[in-house]
Amino acid sequence: MTDLDLSAAELAELEANFAYPLAVSPQVQDLLFREARTAYAFTDQPVSDEQLRAVHDLVKWAPTAMNAQPLRIALIRTPEARERLLGHLAEGNKAKSATAPVIAVLAADLDFHDELPKVFPVSPGARNAFSDEQRREQSALFNSALQIGYFLVAVRAAGLAAGPMGGFDADGVAREFFPDGRHRVLLVVNIGHPADSAFRPRLPRLGYDDVVTTV
């Protein structure tokens, strides 16, 4: 017994909820990062539009350079659209997308600068600063990838499993779902509730001292 006169059960509950040195509980840490896993198979439990709108309502607030928000999303829900996608996936990825109730195709808008007068009104010249196509593409790709990082965390914050996949014909997928030729498809993400067979063994992670230097 401690001076606080806590029962063992109360002490265990306190410890389980003790976030230090972080500001979110171990349960949230697990849900978003530590126990979250890339899913390769899904149950038939549906994902609602309400959940997907709530995910976007979080993601939209996370920062991008000049608030440009270049990420665009095609959500695949119908069997017809799924068939059109499957034709462009690597063979090894087709089965992973077969059972997902929703598949998100994530793309960078290469003409995101057209929105800058609306989203970055503090700098009226911002749009013209991206008249150079190479600079614009580089910014579109980097900031869309940032937003994809936010998106994957937010999908988990909805209690859903995400299965990001890089193996597909990006030009083919773009022609299907972003046919204006002004988008670059970066990632395909299966979304749903994980089936029993959803996960593969955890792979090794690099340690703090492998990736961080302090100066």
Query: What residues between 71 and 90 interact with its own copies by CB under 8 A?
Result: 71-78, 81
Residue given tokens 């959940």 in the structure block: 51
**Does residue 53 belong to the site contacting its own copies (CB under 8 A)?**
yes
**Does residue 34 belong to the site contacting its own copies (CB under 8 A)?**
yes
Measured distance CA(91)–CA(133) in Å, rounded? 34
Closest by CA to 164, choosing from 109, 110, 92, 106, is 106
Measured distance CA(106)–CA(51) in Å, rounded? 17
- Residue 194: phi and psi, rounded to 5, are -65, 140
The least CB distance from residue 115 to its own copies, in Å, is 7
The footprint of its own copies on this chain (CB under 8 A) covers a number of residues equal to 77
CA dihedral 189, 166, 35, 57 (to 10 degrees): -40
**Does residue 146 belong to the site contacting its own copies (CB under 8 A)?**
yes
**Does residue 43 belong to the site contacting its own copies (CB under 8 A)?**
no
The least CB distance from residue 200 to its own copies, in Å, is 8
The least CB distance from residue 205 to its own copies, in Å, is 4
The least CB distance from residue 87 to its own copies, in Å, is 14
**Does residue 116 belong to the site contacting its own copies (CB under 8 A)?**
no
Measured distance CA(156)–CA(113) in Å, rounded? 30
Question: What DSSP string describes 42-90?
Answer: B-S----HHHHHHHHHHHTTS--GGG---EEEEEE-SHHHHHHHHTTB-
**Does residue 181 belong to the site contacting its own copies (CB under 8 A)?**
no
Which of 41, 110, 153, 161 lies at the binding interface for its own copies (CB under 8 A)?
Answer: 153
Which of 40, 41, 42, 69 lies at the binding interface for its own copies (CB under 8 A)?
Answer: 69
**Does residue 134 belong to the site contacting its own copies (CB under 8 A)?**
no
Which of 8, 9, 122, 179 lies at the binding interface for its own copies (CB under 8 A)?
Answer: 122
The least CB distance from residue 7 to its own copies, in Å, is 23
